Amino acid sequence: MTMNFDKLPEFQKELKRLAKKYKSLPDDLREFCNVVSAVPLGNSKHFNVITKTEVLHIVKARLFCKYLKGASLRIIYAYFEQNQRIEFIELYYKGDKENEACDRIKEYLSHYPTAI
């Protein structure tokens, strides 16, 4: 079964803004999609499940960017095991921002009433 990918509008904006700065980002994101298609919750210390509900997992992961030569971006996504879908929630550069937007994640989770 193939993995389906969606992007929140906020994520789209962040991607567009960061892609201007880091030219390899669209390719890096494609590569990341290939990895999470095979292993949705990740397979290393670079993936961290920050919230788990009956319907989804919210995962924070490192997105390696060729343009950054070793440094990485952070990507937050929701993985829906039931229908093999990943929805990208947030993308940011660790140097610009220490942590993910908790409010955005809470808001996102509010759309899924079975969230714990």
Comparing C-alpha atoms, which of 62, 89, 83 is closest to residue 6?
A: 89
| The pLDDT value given to residue 78 | 97
Comparing C-alpha atoms, which of 71, 70, 68, 73 is closest to residue 29?
A: 73
Residue 114 lies in a domain: no
Residue 101 lies in a domain: yes
How far apart (Å, rounded) are the C-alpha atoms in residues 86 and 89? 9
| The pLDDT value given to residue 30 | 96
Identify the CATH number of the domain in which residue 16 sits. Answer: 3.30.2310.20
In this prediction the pTM is 0.91
| The pLDDT value given to residue 100 | 84
Mean pLDDT in consecutive groups of 10 residues from the start of the chain, 116 residues? 90 96 93 94 91 93 86 92 94 84 90 61
| The pLDDT value given to residue 92 | 94
| The pLDDT value given to residue 112 | 78
Domain tally for the chain? 1
| The pLDDT value given to residue 116 | 43
Residue 14 lies in a domain: yes
